[in-house]
Amino acid sequence: MSNVALVIEERAAKVGSFLVGRLLPFVQKRAVGPFVFIDHMGPVNLTEKENFDVPPHPHIGLSTLTYLFEGSIMHRDSLGNEIEIKPGAVNWMNAGKGVVHSERTPDYLRMKKKTLHGMQIWVALPKELEFEEASFYHIEEKDLPSWVDDDVKYTLIAGEAFSKTSGVPVHSPLYFIEIINKTEEDKLIDIGKHLYGESALYILDGKVEVEGNIYEDRRILINENAELCSFTLKSNSSIYIFGGKALPQKRYIHWNFVASERETIDRAVEDWKNQKFPKVPNETEFVPYPGKKDNVNLKK
């Protein structure tokens, strides 16, 4: 990936009682294309007494993408969906003007030892779709475009690239691509002609070499020009490339809300504090609004 402009390392953050590695937003880079938030969850081993539990919480103005490497999460939302997320599948929820969901360890695993490892991503919606009705889609691993080139496996998780289209119904030009080299050989990856807009490369496992520089796991490399994306993927390495065309308007991010206008977020805060959002069936808990101290996140 030539033309590396910025390297972002994971920073510890808490989601409920669960520790994650935060990658975006970053003080020097608030978004990559329409991608405005990325958390790396785990890997973490949970005992029989430990579970992943994020009670009902709201979103507006974004699409959430959950992608697991290991483990399982039960997704429930205010649209009435209840589905287990397993490794390789994609959960894609469009918040629009407002949705509420919970994320928990499935009941059948709650008294067992388990592992959880994955990524949670927010993609900002185009301005004209911010007040649309919420929607939800679940795409199984077998339904995602996947292919092998020079013994390297590619999967187009979301968006369009390589003249292929994922079944995930995105709302702006973007791509989220998995590239895995399980061989004992280093592989030259030159894919700039397939990309567009802004681009970034996340190293999950292994190493990447760019112009003689070695970059290790748990960091994102920001590329100034997606069309110059070329790098050496070291043996036994897994990476994720994401990006696309930046949205024309800036976005404000505050707590779980994304919007092109501050007033939209202010209304959402008041609605959540007054419990005016729709409810998740069979859930009685909810995540309280954290308060004014979180206003530092109300930025572009």
pLDDT per residue as tens digits for the range 207-262: 999 988 999 999 999 887 777 688 999 999 999 999 999 999 999 999 999 999 99
Tell me how far apart the alpha carbons of residues 213 and 187 are, in angstroms, rounded to a whole number. Answer: 15
List phi, psi (to 5°) of 128.
Answer: -70, -10
List phi, psi (to 5°) of 275.
Answer: 55, 45
pLDDT band at 6 (very low <50, low <70, confident <90, very high): confident
Closest residue by Cα to residue 5 from 211, 252, 179: 211
Which is more confident, 77 or 6? 77
Return the ∠ at Cα 23 (arms to 59 and 185), rounded to 5°: 130
Report, as an integer, the average pLDDT of 17-25: 81
Burial of residue 47 (number of CB atoms within 10 Å: 0-12, 13-18, 19+):
exposed
What is the amino acid identity at position 93?
M
pLDDT band at 294 (very low <50, low <70, confident <90, very high): very low
* Cβ-proximal residues to 108 (8 Å cutoff; 6+ apart), any chain: none
Query: Do 43 and 117 contact (CB within 8 A), yes or no?
Result: yes
pTM of this prediction? Answer: 0.93
pLDDT at 125 over 90: yes
What one-character DSSP code corresponds to residue 133? P
Report, as an integer, the average pLDDT of 186-200: 94
pLDDT at 30 over 90: no
pLDDT band at 292 (very low <50, low <70, confident <90, very high): low
Tell me how far apart the alpha carbons of residues 167 and 65 are, in angstroms, rounded to a whole number. Answer: 13
